Chain A
Amino acid sequence: LGGSCANLLLSHSQITRLYSRFTSLDKGENGTLSREDFQRIPELAINPLGDRIINAFFPEGEDQVNFRGFMRTLAHFRPIEDNEKSKNPTASEPLNSRTNKLLFAFRLYDLDRDDKISRDELLQVLRMMVGVNISDEQLGSIADRTIQEADTNGDNSISFNEFIKASFVLTLHTLL
């Protein structure tokens, strides 16, 4: 794991902590986690976007995630430390940089991976977040207005750059 550790920038103790968490979630004791293992966490099961977040751990078309994949996805969320900014500028961007965090969130919307959030995809996520409490028409108008505000090139969908601009108000340091 040496090489990928350097890329993930996780400390030794963080890795051991994650590993013991991985093994405690792995009820089948076969070294991989399935979707059911994640669903067993009550706080995740009640999260409206729980299923999408779980999906983010699994590579395309697969049903099992091993420890490396588990670590890789979680490394996105390590808080950015100031002393990293002065490190080697030619190294590839660390996983938990702001851009990569935004990309993670973008992919929660963009299910078909065409690098665009269409109106349907936006509606799907909205419906997951509000459940049955808001009518279709209201939800539709919310989606339309959001696309209108964020879409700058007029293709009626939100690209990654437009997404970054729309999330500009956030201070990701405090949030993620």
Chain B
Amino acid sequence: MNCFFSCKRLRKTGTLPPVFCSAELQSPGNVLPNFLTLIISLCMLPFFSLNLSNLECISEWATLRMELGAKEKNQELYKPYTNGIIAKEPPSSLQQEIQELRGSANSLRSEPEFEMADIFYFCRRGVESIVDDEVTKRFSAQELKSWNLLTRSNYNFRHISLRLTVLWGLGILIRYGVLLPLRVTLAVTGICLLLVLTTLVAFLPNAELRSYLSEKVHLMCYRICVRALTAIITYHNRENKPKNGGICVANHTTPIDVIILANDGCYSLVGQVHGGLMGMVQRAMVKSSSHIWFERSEVKDRHLVAKRLGDHVADKTKQPILVFPEGTCINNTSVMMFKKGSFEIGCTVYPVAIKYDPRFGDAFWNSSKFGMVSYLLRMMSSWAIVCSVWYLPPMNREEGEDAVQFANRVKAAIAAQGGLVDLIWDGGLKRAKVKDVFKEEQQKLYSKVLVGDSEDQMEDKRSEDGTPEGDESSKDPAEGQ
């Protein structure tokens, strides 16, 4: 407790202790006023921005303690990622690897040739993917290098020191006793205001006044919601903000993405009609500004979806549509395949990259593990939600580019900006099985190695452009948005 203070006070005087918690406990007489100051200052926190450096101080201190503790016990603290069971080599094409296997110099053969040892190639790839694969780890929360005093991110529970446990206990008190109630109050206020005010605005006769007021109302309510989550957002390149008549695409990590983007501008949302509270909010929002809500049955009808999106976009007075082409929540370490539906409409696309800092609270929604309510409670009991939003320059579909290639181009731009891994795997693999088409591609590639390239020169050139995984991007089994 004392440490938290000394950091705050030192911040004000401009100096910072490197490892500050060797400070002695103050005498009991001074504790009470300090405690009160702590409570009062924490009460003010949701209304001013949270002093993040304090939290960073604490995490650094905690990491240092853990490192010292580990050194004392002569244990390894950080799991070395490179020290795996199999030394993984950089990916090369199936043909190349099999040639290496056989040690032959002649790459094109007319006679089918099989070596018993070809099996090792598949064997090795298979076992590598069992030890670590690119896809399944994207559907669970990212592991942190240093502990941020949240139980939920503590994977390797080990008692390091009493001080750390005390600090963790204090953290629990602060988070659940002080921050959570305040945040919940704010959130409830925000949602109520949204419902009431949007309904009120809908009664106004004058259309211009109505749209102006509805913008203001939406922005205000989203700002309250952002405060309720203590989301600290940094917007970059605001000159590229999406304009009317376009589609805004972003990578999807959590439903909170909507609040984060809508905090800075007004968008038309697209989604399924829900029941319950969400349904009420949806109906209220639609009264004062235009959003696109689909019935569950309509979602399957791609033409209907495309038509409604197209109509909305054609009307220049309507706000830009916000779309998440991945279709599902990914854990913010990578960007997965974009569904081509929204890229077929033919209007300007405004890409946005959102990157969360997991140290203060992991924002990823693991929908198989947590429902919406428990997810929101977890969000509101983390330290804070820190993220960066980059608005990328608008993109249009180029000549000779089809929707899939355009989608991949946008995806690559978003991944590059956000520092995320660009994957071609489908986010739908979270729940669905992978399609047999990909297995057949692998088989086809291998049979080319056996039989030779005599007939299929053209096809071969196309498939040789990338790794075996790269071939999957040309087959697009995805459904439209």
Interface residues of A (CB under 8 A from B): 10-14, 16-18, 20-21, 24-25, 38-50, 53, 74-75, 77-79, 104-105, 108-109, 125-126, 129-134, 138, 141-143, 145-146, 150, 158, 163, 166-167, 169-170, 174-176
B28 within 8 Å of A by Cβ? no
List CB contacts (< 8 Å) of B207-253 with chain A. Answer: none
Which residues from chain B contact A38 at a C-beta distance below 8 Å? 130
- Which of A41, A46, A78, A143 has the most CB atoms of chain B within a 10 A radius of its CB? A46
B125 touches A43 (CB 8 A): yes
Which of B177-185, B376-384, B435-443 lines the interface with chain A?
B435-443
CA distance in complex: A160, B114 (Å):
18
- Which of A11, A45, A141 has the most CB atoms of chain B within a 10 A radius of its CB? A45
- Chain B residues touching A, range: 35 or more
Contact flag A77-B447 (CB < 8 Å), given A21-B132, A169-B103: no
B304 within 8 Å of A by Cβ? no
| Apart from A47-B439, A129-B443, A174-B100: 9 A-B pairs, beta carbons within 8 A | A24-B137, A46-B441, A47-B122, A50-B126, A78-B85, A131-B444, A138-B112, A166-B116, A170-B117
Which of A42, A50, A134 is B135 in contact with, Cβ under 8 Å? Answer: A42
B101 touches A170 (CB 8 A): yes
Which residues from chain B contact A169 at a C-beta distance below 8 Å? 102-103, 115, 117
B133 touches A44 (CB 8 A): yes
Which residues from chain A contact B469 at a C-beta distance below 8 Å? 43
Contact flag A74-B134 (CB < 8 Å), given A24-B140, A105-B120: no
B1 within 8 Å of A by Cβ? no
Which residues from chain B contact A166 at a C-beta distance below 8 Å? 115-117
B446 touches A130 (CB 8 A): yes
Which of B53-61, B76-84, B307-315, B321-329 lines the interface with chain A?
B76-84
CB-CB nearest in chain A for B118: A129
Contact flag A13-B86 (CB < 8 Å), given A43-B135, A133-B444, A142-B114: no
Which residues from chain B contact A105 at a C-beta distance below 8 Å? 117, 119-120, 123
Contact flag A13-B76 (CB < 8 Å), given A47-B126, A79-B87, A129-B446: yes
Q: How far is the CB of A7 from chain B (nearest CB, A)?
A: 15
Which residues from chain B contact A125 at a C-beta distance below 8 Å? 119
Which residues from chain B contact A176 at a C-beta distance below 8 Å? 86, 120, 123-124
Which of B86, B126, B444 is A53 in contact with, Cβ under 8 Å? Answer: B126
A146 touches B133 (CB 8 A): no
Query: A-B pairs with the 8 shortest C-beta distances?
Result: A131-B443, A43-B129, A133-B447, A130-B447, A53-B126, A46-B438, A49-B122, A42-B434
Interface CB pairs A-B, < 8 A, 29 = A24-B140, A39-B433, A41-B129, A41-B136, A43-B469, A44-B126, A46-B434, A46-B438, A46-B439, A49-B122, A49-B126, A50-B439, A74-B85, A74-B130, A75-B85, A77-B86, A78-B86, A104-B123, A105-B119, A108-B123, A131-B440, A132-B440, A133-B451, A134-B447, A142-B450, A166-B115, A170-B103, A174-B100, A176-B124
B156 within 8 Å of A by Cβ? yes
CA distance in complex: A16, B85 (Å):
11
CA distance in complex: A141, B113 (Å):
10
B86 touches A129 (CB 8 A): no
B277 within 8 Å of A by Cβ? no
Q: How far is the CB of B222 from chain A (nearest CB, A)?
A: 35
List CB contacts (< 8 Å) of B132-178 with chain A. Answer: 132-137, 140, 155-156
- Which of B80, B85, B140, B439 has the most CB atoms of chain A within a 10 A radius of its CB? B85
B294 within 8 Å of A by Cβ? no
CB-CB nearest in chain B for A71: B85
B425 within 8 Å of A by Cβ? yes
A17 touches B127 (CB 8 A): no
CA distance in complex: A59, B369 (Å):
31
A12 touches B76 (CB 8 A): yes
CA distance in complex: A99, B422 (Å):
39
CA distance in complex: A16, B444 (Å):
38
CA distance in complex: A43, B444 (Å):
16
